[in-house]
Amino acid sequence: MTSTDKSIEYFGLKIPFLAHLGVVPEFAKDGKSRISLQLKPEYENSFGIAHGGVIMTLLDFAMGAAARSISEVPLGAMTIDMTVSFLRPSTGKIIVEGTILKSGKTINYCEAIVLNEAGEVTAKSSGTFMLRKSKTP
């Protein structure tokens, strides 16, 4: 996959922004998800590490994918709220894992972590997601 490959699907959804970044979908099932990304210089901040906005995007998507993974909801999950803690710099190839903490009919509470190549947690997040069940917002 290249960063210009917009045809890739992210667990049943086309998400051009993730395709542009080069995010690799690994799995989303049973309330868990995993994605990965090889960081590039254009994703860095002035300190030469991953920009917080890139990390937040990945955490957000991993939690949303985990939320969707236990329901027949092909239209997505909308973020209601999200908190992020940055624990150490993210560099190189990173893995992001999302998990449902508590699920409901339409609202799911999730968490996600970012792991560096050494397996260290570099960031963590929690969030609340509403499952989108119809095409009208």
Q: What is the mean pLDDT of residues 108-125?
A: 97
The tokens for 78 are 């909308």
What tens digit of pLDDT does each residue of 96-109 get? 999 999 998 889 99
Per-residue pLDDT at 116: 95
Q: What's the Cα-to-Cα distance from 79 to each of 10, 56, 100, 131, rounded to whole Å?
A: 17, 12, 13, 9
Q: What is the mean pLDDT of residues 1-29?
A: 84
Q: What is the mean pLDDT of residues 3-9?
A: 66
Distance CA 111, CA 60 (A): 9
Per-residue pLDDT at 44: 95
For 129, residues 6+ apart whose C-beta sits below 8 A from its C-beta are: 63, 64, 67, 77, 78, 79, 80, 107, 108, 109, 110
Is-contact 61 97, C-beta < 8 A?
A: no
| % residues pLDDT > 90 (the chain) | 77
What tens digit of pLDDT does each residue of 20-61 get? 999 999 999 999 999 999 999 999 999 999 999 999 999 999
Per-residue pLDDT at 12: 87
Distance CA 1, CA 51 (A): 22
Beta strands in 1-137 (DSSP E): 24-29, 32-38, 77-86, 93-103, 107-115, 121-131
Task: Single out the residue of 93, 92, 26 nearest to residue 62, CA to CA.
Answer: 26
Domains detected in the chain: 16-131 (3.10.129.10)
Per-residue pLDDT at 1: 44
SS3 20: helix
| % residues pLDDT > 70 (the chain) | 91
Q: DSSP class of residue 135? A: S
